[in-house]
Amino acid sequence: MFARITLLFIFSFMSFFVYAESEKTRIGYAYDKQTKQLVYTEDHYENYVDGLILTSRVIYRDPSDKIIASKTVDFTNNKFMPEFALQNTENGHKEITRYVQSEYEVLFSKKETESEKQASLNYPDDGISDAGFDNFIIKNWQQLAAGEVFKRDFLIPSMMDFIKFRIYQYEVIDEEGESLRLINIEPDNFLIRAFAGTTKLYYEKDKPKLKMFDGVSNMRDSNGENYKVTIRYEESKKLASY
């Protein structure tokens, strides 16, 4: 197990230079929902094939521009349920997935002082994990815009399991003079939804280009708790080097 994880992170580091050359890049500014203060930024280096993300590298920085975490995402095996590796060097938070034969292997660590959890899951054929939600919305953009409601199983790494979520268009709004299409992603179960809340994704009205994320982040604070943030995305032709 350790050898596989080590190799995955070595691959992640080496592959950064490939992702850095990607033509399509963006940066996200994550603001705490309560204090409205910037808590981190995300530098995205992405490669697209047929309009969908194939590989991605994300560099997370604190407000002082210090690198605090990185993530690699690979959709080669599945357009919506990728292999990914997230590691936060500040607090030890770690999330890793990979396909091993017919199972989806998941490794999770909330913070450095807590033990790691590992599971091999029988995954659903139409499952979604991590950034797979973006590919799913791109792929099903017309149906969502027409009002179709989808129900899909989402991986929750901390729970080592998939939970049924629903994905649907909520409304079209005007945000600072720009028309945006709001897509909601939320647990299908009412009780779980009351606890976990709804993730709100704001896309350009006429194309599936993500402009804003509002909800629980995959990044965690020093206590190992998820940030609740609003992330605003901007395109960037050239991001800071690693």
Please report where in the chains the tokens 């998939």 appear, as a residue: 162
Average pLDDT over residues 173-188: 92
User: Quick one: what percent of the chain has pLDDT higher than 70?
Assistant: 88
Q: Which residue has the higher pLDDT, 37 or 240?
A: 37
Which tens digit of pLDDT belongs to each residue from 119-140?
A: 999 999 999 999 999 999 999 9
Nearest to 133 by CA among 79, 172, 89: 79
The answer to whether residue 2 scores a pLDDT higher than 90 is no
Task: Give the pLDDT band of residue 179 (cuts 50, 70, 90).
Answer: very high
